[in-house]
Structure 1
Amino acid sequence: MGNTDKFEMIANIYDTSERIQIAKVSSNAIREYLGDAKNKNAIDFGCGTGLVGMNLLNEFKSILFLDTSQNMINQIKQKISGSNIQNAATLCFDFEKNSLSNLHADYIFMAQVLLHIKDVELVLSRLYDILNVRGHLLIVDFNKNEEIISDMVHNGFEQEKLIDLMIKIGYRGIQSRTFYTGSKIFMGHDASLFIIDSQK
């Protein structure tokens, strides 16, 4: 996945108060779309240090924390063992390079991950493949922001274009909304976050 090297370097200082706050807002938005998921398995895709997934552990039977950065995964392992959490596992893996046919989930959620992924269609297709039938993919990311110029990340997404791409892949029952606006939360710029819920 994009920018793995950068995340390897900042893993042990990643959990700032701003990131913790955004993760809380994001996990609350995801929670609204879950219904009763107590017997369901989830993947926190591009989990970083697990800030979003840790907030949602009580909502699922289990969560697999998946990231391309081994240092980020190590941070989560410490959290899991330190809190004696029983329903979490970790996996260091890059979906942009390979697919995993033996992995399956009822829910996949990704918060501010898509903007780091170069080939969005490829990754969303591979995630579609590992979703169980009627499983949900939930995406939290930034609305497009023309003020941001970067060769490291996408400058956000237009919800309609992203939804069109997801329909092309096979996702259905898609709904989206903007749920948060914050000051200087996207590369020093004011920005807003959207959530998309979709189903296989």
Structure 2
Amino acid sequence: MGNTEKFEMIANTYDTPERIQIAKVTSDAIRKYVVDAKSMNAMDFGCGTGLVGFNLVNEFQSMLFMDTSPNMIDRVKQKIADLHLSNAGTLCFDFEKSAPSNLHVDYIFMAQVLLHIRDTELVLSRLFEVLNEGGHLIIVDFDKNEKIVSTMVHNGFHQAELTDMMARIGYKDIQSETFYHGSNIFMGQDASMFILDARK
């Protein structure tokens, strides 16, 4: 997945107060879209140090933390041990390189991950295959922001364009909304974040 090397380097210093705050806002937004999931399995896709997933771990029967960065996964493993969690696991894997054959979950959420993925349609298609029938993919990311110019990340997304792409893949009941505006939250720029919920 894009920018793995960068995340390898910052894993041990990733949990800043700013990132912890954004993760809380994000997980609160996701929670509103999670219904009766105590018997369901979830995956925090591109989990980083698990800031979002750990806020939601009690909403599900189990939580799989997945990232391409071994150092990030090591941080998650340490947190799982520190918290004595029996319903959490980890997977170091790159969906851009291949598709897992035996992985199936009911909920996938990805928070500020899609902007790092070069081939968004490929990865969203592979995530579709991982979802159980009726399962949900919840995306939290930045609205399109023309002030951002970068070769490292997408400068956000148009919700309508993302919805169209996901409908082509096969997702249904797609709904999205902008839920947060913040100062200096996207590469030093003021930005807004959206949440999108789609079902298989």
- TM tier relative to shorter chain: over 0.9
Displacement of 1:43: 0.4
Q: Which runs of 5+ in 1 are unaligned?
A: none
Letter of the 1:135 partner, please give it. Answer: G
Quick one: distance in 2 between partners of 1:95 and 1:44?
13
What pairs with 1:161-200 in structure 2 (closer than 5 Å)?
Answer: 161-200=161-200
What pairs with 1:126-137 in structure 2 (closer than 5 Å)?
Answer: 126-137=126-137
Quick one: distance in 2 between partners of 1:87 and 1:55?
13
Letter of the 1:124 partner, please give it. Answer: L
Letter of the 1:59 partner, please give it. Answer: E
Quick one: distance in 2 between partners of 1:43 and 1:50?
11
Quick one: distance in 2 between partners of 1:82 and 1:198?
33
Q: Helix, strand or coil for the counterpart of 1:147?
A: coil
Considering only aligned residues, what root-mean-square deviation do their CA atoms show, in Å?
0.3
Per-residue Cα deviation, 1:5-51 (whole angstroms, up to 9, x for no partner): 00000000000000000000000000000111000000000000000
Query: What is the TM-score when the length of structure 1 is the normalising length?
Result: 1.00
Q: 2:7 aligns to what?
A: 7
Q: Which runs of 5+ in 2 are unaligned?
A: none
Displacement of 1:79: 0.3
In the TM superposition, structure 1's runs of 4+ consecutive aligned residues that sit over 6 Å from their partners are: none
Letter of the 1:142 partner, please give it. Answer: F
Letter of the 2:144 partner, please give it. Answer: K
Quick one: distance in 2 between partners of 1:36 and 1:18?
30
What pairs with 1:94-113 in structure 2 (closer than 5 Å)?
Answer: 94-113=94-113
Displacement of 1:101: 1.3
Quick one: distance in 2 between partners of 1:57 and 1:125?
25
Quick one: distance in 2 between partners of 1:170 and 1:65?
25
Q: 2:23 aligns to what?
A: 23
Displacement of 1:83: 1.0
Q: Helix, strand or coil for the counterpart of 2:48?
A: coil
Aligned length: 200
Per-residue Cα deviation, 1:104-144 (whole angstroms, up to 9, x for no partner): 00000000000000000000000000100000000000000
Quick one: distance in 2 between partners of 1:83 and 1:136?
27
Q: Does the alignment pair 1:83 with 2:83?
A: yes
Q: Helix, strand or coil for the counterpart of 1:91?
A: strand
Quick one: distance in 2 between partners of 1:185 and 1:81?
30
Per-residue Cα deviation, 1:56-83 (whole angstroms, up to 9, x for no partner): 0110000000000000000000000011
Quick one: distance in 2 between partners of 1:24 and 1:62?
20
Q: Does the alignment pair 1:44 with 2:48?
A: no
Q: Helix, strand or coil for the counterpart of 1:56?
A: helix
Taking every aligned residue pair, what percent have the same amino acid on both sides?
70
Displacement of 1:148: 0.4
Q: Helix, strand or coil for the counterpart of 2:58?
A: helix
Quick one: distance in 2 between partners of 1:92 and 1:130?
16
Letter of the 2:130 partner, please give it. Answer: I
